[in-house]
Amino acid sequence: MSDVAISIKANLKNVNGSDHIYPPTFAGVGHNFVALDKGTGKAKAVQVDSVGSFANRIEAELAALGILPEITTSVANQTLSVNELPHRIYDAILRDSFLGEDSWRNSDIGHQLLSSTTKNATALLLMLHDTSLGGWDSHAGKSVKGVKISRSVSCEIWGYDVFVAQHTSPKN
């Protein structure tokens, strides 16, 4: 399968009418700038929205519509949906969970889901209803041969010709 993409360039406006945006920050990095000149405060680009953030919002919307099944696990007296786990159905939390007496991987449902492939994702589609955001079973013990299902939907938003505003805080 070849890679196919639709790229849209558009002038977006802030919903509150401001000329300023506040892009997300990333641990250990801060804002994700491309070619930031700290002397002038100008950058070629800044990341405004990421693939992961988009995926989380889409999953939340699908869950709110009630079209995603609820596969849950309990950790430290907290019930988590598979859609809340960082790596979804392939997350280590599920890998280390038990369904009755069986480990998740050896349970009937776990075995069906984890034996899905890109050529036969029937179990994933029947039980999860959504593979559009992709997944990778990096815990399969097969290293690079673990199941990898590419995203069919993703989104990134970048701002271009960026000028970094300097903030000052009032003295107490």
Q: How many CB atoms lie within 10 A of CB 128?
A: 19
Q: Which two tokens stand for residue 129?
A: 């209803």
What residues have CB less than 8 Å from 68, skipping those under 6 apart? 59, 62, 83, 128, 129, 130
- Each residue of 82-102: pLDDT tens digit? 777 777 777 778 778 888 888
- So where are the chain's domains? 1-50+156-172, 70-149
Write down the pLDDT at residue 88: 75
Helix and strand totals (H; E) in the chain: 4, 9
| Dist. CA 117–CA 172, nearest whole Å | 60
Which residue matches tokens 């786990």? 85
Summarize pLDDT for 89-148 with one digit per residue, the tens. 777 787 788 888 888 888 888 888 777 777 887 777 776 656 666 777 776 655 555 677
pLDDT digits (tens, 9 = 90+) for 3-59: 677 888 888 888 888 888 888 888 888 899 999 998 998 999 999 998 888 888 887
Q: Report the C-alpha gap between 154 and 140 in whole angstroms.
A: 25
